[in-house]
Amino acid sequence: MREHQSEVKAPAALDRLRTSAHRLGSGTYSANRGNRIDMTATSSAGTTDGDLAYQAAILQGVSRTFALTIPQLPAGLRDVVGNAYLLCRITDTIEDEPALSAARKQALAERFVEVVAGRAAPEGFAHDLGAGLSPSTTASEHDLVANTARVLRITHGFEATQREALARCVRIMAGGMAEFQLRATPAGLDDLPHLDRYCYHVAGVVGEMLTELFCDYSAEIDAHRDELLRLAVSFGQGLQMTNILKDVWDDHRRGACWLPRDVFRDAGFDLRTLSEDRHDPRFAAGMVTLIGIARGHLANALRYTLLIPARESGIRRHCLWALGMAALTLRRIHAAPRFRTGAEVKISRRSVRAVALVTSSLVRSNLALTLLFKALTRGLPPAATTPAADKQTAPAGRKRKNLDSIPDAS
């Protein structure tokens, strides 16, 4: 799912990886399932081994988390999920760029939707977005935007079902981000339903997309499509809420706030008075409520993961590692109510390795994974009510394609 902020700034390492990508030559991988085919041919979309190697390299630069989890996927999913993440990252880069006005962000997001759909050329878009990026955008993200055409060559080589899943995700994400940028305020979001909508547009829709790709990959997974789709949005919201809570003070310094005002009003706190210079127990009480809600969404994420057949251990690991890291982050947030930067509650690399090792050893056992989740979340506040996995409703005028079993937004 979408990460709230970029994690890695490593231009030198990226240059070395990109050089290696260029040296791989002109062979290709199958545009359909990611399996290696004729090393001297190119696909109908013009995808080359160099493009795929660039995709793997840039993923290391823009996301340490997803660079770990995506390689766990089976070969038939790695390339398309990696490509999907980069498309979302470009959309995210538009949203996060402080030098762009809300109107300019909306225009660029709409252009990118056309590019992904194949109705506009990527080169002009990449030039115009790149020219508007400031030094606050990481070197890796600058590089990704400059190489949009390479990413899109891969996108347009996938099967029609996969392309539609990716295009739908970008379309909804870009539309939602534009809406929230125009309505953004340092005083926070209106209420919990408003937070649900925000999380849907930046993360829940990604869960839907991944579910479509998983179901397309496996008939056994597709047998659980309806329930997986109901849980997918909640999975994404659990991850996104964790990032929002972790980054609350970093966002506040940038003049942004994604917390719901009604939760804090119920605790007796007005988000308009939020200040990092003083600790207010009423603000802490609101944070506890949101930690409990996020925990409930992560419980739905576990339900989602356990619906994946045990023999699909790579897909399970991909889900479990993200889930485990989110649970540990919530623990750190809850244990440090006076934290003032995301770095203070960010989990260590040692913790990441522990999550990977333990979940991998238990990956086939539903009982063991359930007990592990209970252990990881012990001590966290419970949600007042269990977050619904299927309460999302579609934005006005927007209709779902191939996802009729659940609504379109939250």
pLDDT digits (tens, 9 = 90+) for 315-325: 999 999 999 99
| 215-230 confidence digits (pLDDT tens) | 999 999 999 999 999 9
d(CA 264, CA 255): 18
Lowest mean pLDDT among 1-5, 72-76, 197-201, 357-361: 1-5
Which of the two residues, 181 and 4, has the higher pLDDT score? 181
Place of tokens 């409703």: 393
| 142-183 confidence digits (pLDDT tens) | 999 999 999 999 999 999 999 999 999 999 999 998 778 777
d(CA 198, CA 257): 12
Collapsing DSSP to helix, strand or coil, 189 comes out as strand
Q: Tell me the two tokens of residue 20.
A: 């290696």
Q: What would the mean pLDDT of 63-81 be, rounded to a whole number?
A: 93
d(CA 97, CA 304): 33
Collapsing DSSP to helix, strand or coil, 134 comes out as coil
pLDDT at 181: 76
Q: Which helix (H) or strand (E) holds 241?
A: helix 225-246
Q: With 0-12 CB in 10 A as exposed, 13-18 as middle and 19+ as buried, what is 148?
A: buried
d(CA 264, CA 286): 5
When the pLDDT of each residue in the chain is averaged and rounded to a whole number, the result is: 85
d(CA 57, CA 22): 11
Q: What would the mean pLDDT of 42-67 be, rounded to a whole number?
A: 81
Lowest mean pLDDT among 117-126, 250-259, 358-367: 250-259
Position 13 pLDDT exceeds 60: no
Question: DSSP letters along 29-84, please?
Answer: B-TTT--B--TT---TT---HHHHHHHHHHHHHH-HHHHHHGGGS-HHHHHHHHHH
This prediction has a pTM of 0.83
Cβ–Cβ under 8 Å, residues 251 and 406:
no
Q: What would the mean pLDDT of 68-96 be, rounded to a whole number?
A: 95
Position 12 pLDDT exceeds 80: no
Q: Enumerate domains of the chain plus CATH numbers.
A: 1-183 (1.10.600.10), 186-410 (1.10.600.10)
Q: With 0-12 CB in 10 A as exposed, 13-18 as middle and 19+ as buried, what is 352?
A: middle
pLDDT at 48: 74
Q: What would the mean pLDDT of 321-339 be, rounded to a whole number?
A: 97
| 363-409 confidence digits (pLDDT tens) | 999 999 999 999 999 999 997 666 766 555 444 333 333 333 222 33
Eight-class DSSP state of 260:
B
Residues whose CB falls within 8 Å of the CB of residue 85, separated by 6 or more in sequence, listed in order: 59, 63, 66, 70
Position 271 pLDDT exceeds 70: yes
Closest to 205 measured CA to CA, from 390, 67, 410: 410
pLDDT at 23: 42
pLDDT at 30: 33
Cβ–Cβ under 8 Å, residues 324 and 318:
no
Is residue 35 left, alpha or beta, with left meaning phi > 0 and alpha meaning psi from -120 to 50? beta
pLDDT at 3: 53
pLDDT at 180: 83
Model confidence band, residue 203 (pLDDT cutoffs 50, 70, 90): very high
pLDDT at 89: 96
